[in-house]
């Protein structure tokens, strides 16, 4: 060990020693590790002369907080000292009071960083659902619980979902969350993975989702959708796709191109070809010109909200 390392080690030791003897006062904010979880209280190692005790009613602002399910040994917590000595040489602490003081600054920073949190839905309310983040009551609009608007908010109660913060207002104690952007990214990753396995020239079966004047949108078995342009629907000239197919028809198509996260399909080129049952076994070949690789931003644009 070098001389500098010895000095640093000694300094660290002296810092810890000084901290262990520092007298805590009511109102101090401290940090510690949970070392015990009982029926009515949590024990915290403060690295000082005394252990900290958090009574069950000082753990969280969440009325449905469970001392057995929602806090565990090893958790690092912030707490406010509510009594420096409870008569048994222990420091009485409050986590929820610390949340009230520290949480809003943390939440503001987390919003800027687009941080993702896992939360448990506590209850369904008009227009959405309620959860708690850092001990603060938060609202999730029904439009933000899933990729598409859902009226059945009751079905989310008790479930864990991943969310981002979309609004923080300490003055009005307003905290709004949403799962939609997280779900969009997860969906985009799935699409990206599926796109990476697609081989140009593969013939597959799909179902017609909808018709437009310029062609038909087809949903493939792997969940991806593509467009059969009207020029690729028949060997003879047609005025409208309905002359060839109808919505919900199951049809055979060939994947002819991938561009900007979108599939181009052809009915005419699939006529003389056999359907590929296992697309994963087909070697991937990209068309010339535009690359089949898809940017993350392009994938997000392609997701229907």
With beta carbons less than 8 A apart as the criterion, state whether 197 and 242 touch: no
CA torsion angle for 264, 267, 269, 274 (degrees, to 10)?
Answer: 110
Which domains are present in the chain?
3-98 (2.40.50.140), 114-178 (2.40.50.140), 196-301 (2.40.50.140)
Residue 72 has pLDDT above 90, yes or no: yes
Residue 297 has pLDDT above 50, yes or no: no
With beta carbons less than 8 A apart as the criterion, state whether 64 and 122 touch: yes
CA distance 242 to 256: 22
Structure tokens at 24: 């805590």
Least confident of 57-61, 223-227, 235-239, 277-281: 277-281
Reported confidence tier of residue 83, pLDDT bands at 50, 70, 90: very high
- Count of CB atoms within 10 A of residue 150's CB? 15
DSSP of 158-222, one letter per residue?
T-EEEEEEEEEETTTTEEEEESHHHHHHHHHHHHHHHHHT--TT-EEEEEEEEEETTEEEEEETT
Mean pLDDT of 97-110: 92
With beta carbons less than 8 A apart as the criterion, state whether 60 and 132 touch: yes
Contact partners, residue 27, CB within 8 Å, separation at least 6: 80, 81
Reported confidence tier of residue 277, pLDDT bands at 50, 70, 90: low
Q: What percent of the chain has pLDDT over 70?
A: 82
180-192: per-residue pLDDT in tens?
999 999 988 888 8
Cα-to-chain-centroid distance, residue 37: 29
With beta carbons less than 8 A apart as the criterion, state whether 208 and 242 touch: no
CA distance 195 to 262: 9
With beta carbons less than 8 A apart as the criterion, state whether 73 and 36 touch: yes
Residue 14 has pLDDT above 50, yes or no: no
CA distance 119 to 90: 32
214-243: per-residue pLDDT in tens?
999 999 877 888 999 999 999 899 999 999
CA distance 207 to 225: 9
With beta carbons less than 8 A apart as the criterion, state whether 51 and 43 touch: yes
Q: From its phi and psi, is residue 101 left (phi > 0), alpha (psi between -120 and 50) or beta?
A: alpha
Three-class SS state of 1:
coil
What pLDDT does residue 155 have?
A: 95
Bridge partners of 252, per DSSP, are 205
With beta carbons less than 8 A apart as the criterion, state whether 128 and 167 touch: no
Does this model's pTM top 0.95? My answer is: no
Structure tokens at 118: 């896992």
What pLDDT does residue 304 have?
A: 43
User: Residue 204 burial (CB < 10 Å; 0-12/13-18/19+)?
Assistant: buried
Reported confidence tier of residue 10, pLDDT bands at 50, 70, 90: low
What pLDDT does residue 194 have?
A: 81
Reported confidence tier of residue 298, pLDDT bands at 50, 70, 90: very low
With beta carbons less than 8 A apart as the criterion, state whether 34 and 75 touch: yes
């Amino acid at each position: 060990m070098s001389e500098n390392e010895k000095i640093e080690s000694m300094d660290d030791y002296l810092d810890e020693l000084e901290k262990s003897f520092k007298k805590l006062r009511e109102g101090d904010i401290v940090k510690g590790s949970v070392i015990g979880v009982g029926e009515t209280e949590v024990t915290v190692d403060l690295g000082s002369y005394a252990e900290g005790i958090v009574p069950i009613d000082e753990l969280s602002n969440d009325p449905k907080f469970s001392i057995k399910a929602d806090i565990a040994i090893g958790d690092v917590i912030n707490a406010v000292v509510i009594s420096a000595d409870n008569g048994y040489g222990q420091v009485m602490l409050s986590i929820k009071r610390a949340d009230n003081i520290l949480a809003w600054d943390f939440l503001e920073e987390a919003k800027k960083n687009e941080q993702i949190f896992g939360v448990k839905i506590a209850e369904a309310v008009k227009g959405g659902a309620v959860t708690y983040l850092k001990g603060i009551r938060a609202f999730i609009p029904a439009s933000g619980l899933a990729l598409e608007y859902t009226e059945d908010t009751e079905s989310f109660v008790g479930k864990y979902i991943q969310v981002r913060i979309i609004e923080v207002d300490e003055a009005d104690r307003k905290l709004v969350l949403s799962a939609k952007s997280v779900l969009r990214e997860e969906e985009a990753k799935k699409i990206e993975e599926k796109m990476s396995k697609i081989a140009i020239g593969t013939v597959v079966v799909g179902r017609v989702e909808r018709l437009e004047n310029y062609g038909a949108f087809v949903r493939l078995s792997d969940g991806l959708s593509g467009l059969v342009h009207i020029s690729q629907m028949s060997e003879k000239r047609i005025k409208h796709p309905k002359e060839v197919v109808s919505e919900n028809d199951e049809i055979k198509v060939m994947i002819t191109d991938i561009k900007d996260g979108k599939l181009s399909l052809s009915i005419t080129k699939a006529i003389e070809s056999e359907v590929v049952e296992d697309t994963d076994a087909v070697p991937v070949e990209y068309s010339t010109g535009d690359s089949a690789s898809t940017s993350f931003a392009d994938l997000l644009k392609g997701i229907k909200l």
